[in-house]
A and B are shown apart, each in its own frame.
Chain A
Amino acid sequence: MYKGKKTPENLSEERKKYLRHIAYKKYGILSVQILILIFFITLWEISANLGLIDSFITSQPSRIVDTFLNLTSNDLLMHIGITCFETMVGFLLGVILGTILATLLWWSDTLSKISEPYLVILNSLPKIALGPVIIIWVGAGVKAIIVMALAISLIVTVLELLNGFLQTDKETIKMARTFGANKAQIFSKIVFPANMETLFNSLKINIGLSLVGVIAGEFLVSKAGLGYLIVYGGQVFQLDLVMASVIILAIVAALLYEFVRILEKIVCRKNFRK
């Protein structure tokens, strides 16, 4: 990462020192991060073994690992799969609908002004309050969960994208207009591509929000998924299952975020920012 163009032989002393310093710092931070984790897990395990904390209500690392190892017996993979599926569907719907709505609002200034107060209110409303309404409207099942994910992520996407669209450089738009560009061309050639960064930023927020929506939805209605496992584990006082699910959820969230990041790299591969 910090390699210069020069080969190591002809590096100056100062440069070598500088590079060493950076490497030390980088690995130093990494090792402290890992040590904190190890320390915390060890402390947890030992305190549970010594009876300092009640492992019945706090669980303990070794028992969580056992739960992982029994993946197949408690259908963990199936639950992970369901949560991921619901999140992806909610996410994609949110992105597609959000982009379409933001485009419409960019297109018509009047429409945008009319909808502004509604968007603001919908944005600040805790969407989880809509849970019962959603269940009644679409039924208690996967559909309700996806709608919940959508409800949580959609408005944010619309507002974020619209804001980006509206802030596109006016001079660049004027340049396109001097060639006689119509509104559709201005959008497709200037405004949309100029906002790839905004789009991916909102995707990164969105993937997290969709997961929040899905877990909330699963808490309310589901018969499967990580959210269901957490609620179920809590009800039957199987804290091992709850903790294992939470850890898996953290990993799933990180992986989904990484997925968006890789997608961004592929789409914006061009190194124009160099």
Chain B
Amino acid sequence: MNALDIKEINMKYQDISGEIDAITDVSFSIKKGEFLSLVGPSGCGKSTLLSIVSGLLKQSGGEVLIDGEKVEGVSSKIGYMLQKDNLLEWRTIYGNVILGLEIRGELNAESRSYADELLKTYGLYEFKDKYPAQLSGGMRQRAALIRTLVTKPDILLLDEAFSALDYQTRLAVGDDVYRIIKKENKTVLMVTHDIPEAISMSDRIVVLTKRPAVIKAIHEINFENLKERTPLECRKQESFSSYFNDIWKELDVHV
């Protein structure tokens, strides 16, 4: 069974100035443990699609299935990571990490100890009483990831999750987050405009067209001669650039 099925999703926005077709009949599925990326020209509706999957936005047509079950609204099986870490400056790292649990009313001894465990595993335990402003960008992003992981989602949605970071931090944090996600064995749907980032992390890449978005192509990404796949290692592979060229052509970018 698929972890996530997107079935014929349609989205129309109503606006004073008219009706906007954002997404037309987009369907795809993600297997359990798979890392799938959506790339497309900016403004093509890929973030809209993510909002629909997360339940923040109601689609005009089609359905979203998680583990074969139709979902309406925000599902507790989904964890969402946004572009910025959105840590609350007035809370300690620990206070930030348990925010999701607090909102869901799941704060108890068990979940607290799981939060401690994650903080220890990912090297933030000594910083748990510090405030976000005292942490580096990479550590902040890690804290944001733990805030999502602690609610035990099966599926993670990454919405341009690294694009607010500077390039070097971005590579390092991308690598870091990738390892954590693989270690926790999560299914991932990532939206990005960064083609190399998508190639370095994904098992499959779905390329969307300009608005209204339809699927243009789906690429299987395989780096066979890698012992342990990490985004940074992938970038060193020869086939990396051929994937890049294929996808670049399909995006059909004109200035």
Contact = CB atoms under 8 A, between A and B. Distances in A.
B and A form one assembly? yes
Interface residues of A, number: 23
A271 to B, nearest CB: 7
B133 A189 contact: no
A273 B104 contact: no
27 contacts: A171-B82, A171-B84, A172-B86, A174-B86, A175-B80, A175-B82, A175-B86, A176-B99, A178-B78, A178-B79, A178-B82, A179-B100, A180-B73, A180-B74, A189-B99, A190-B88, A193-B88, A193-B90, A194-B90, A196-B90, A270-B90, A270-B131, A272-B89, A272-B133, A274-B131, A274-B133, A274-B134
Given A171-B82, A171-B83, A176 B103 contact: yes
B192 interface: no
Contact of B88 (A172, A178, A179): A172
B76 interface: yes
A272 B54 CA distance: 31
Contact of A189 (B54, B83, B103, B134): B103
A185 B102 CA distance: 9
A10 to B, nearest CB: 27
A25 interface: no
Nearest to A271: B131
Given A196-B90, A270-B131, A180 B84 contact: no
Contacts of A179: 74, 99-100, 103-104, 151
A85 B151 CA distance: 50
Chain A binding site: helix, strand, loop or mixed by DSSP? helix
Contacts of A189: 88, 99, 102-103
A185 B76 CA distance: 17
A139 to B, nearest CB: 44
Contacts of A78: none
Contacts of A185: 103
A100 interface: no
Given A179-B100, A179-B151, 6 more contacts: A171-B82, A176-B99, A178-B78, A179-B104, A180-B73, A189-B103
Contacts of A270: 90, 131
B232 interface: no
B133 A273 contact: yes
Interface string B12-51: 0000000000000000000000000000000000000000
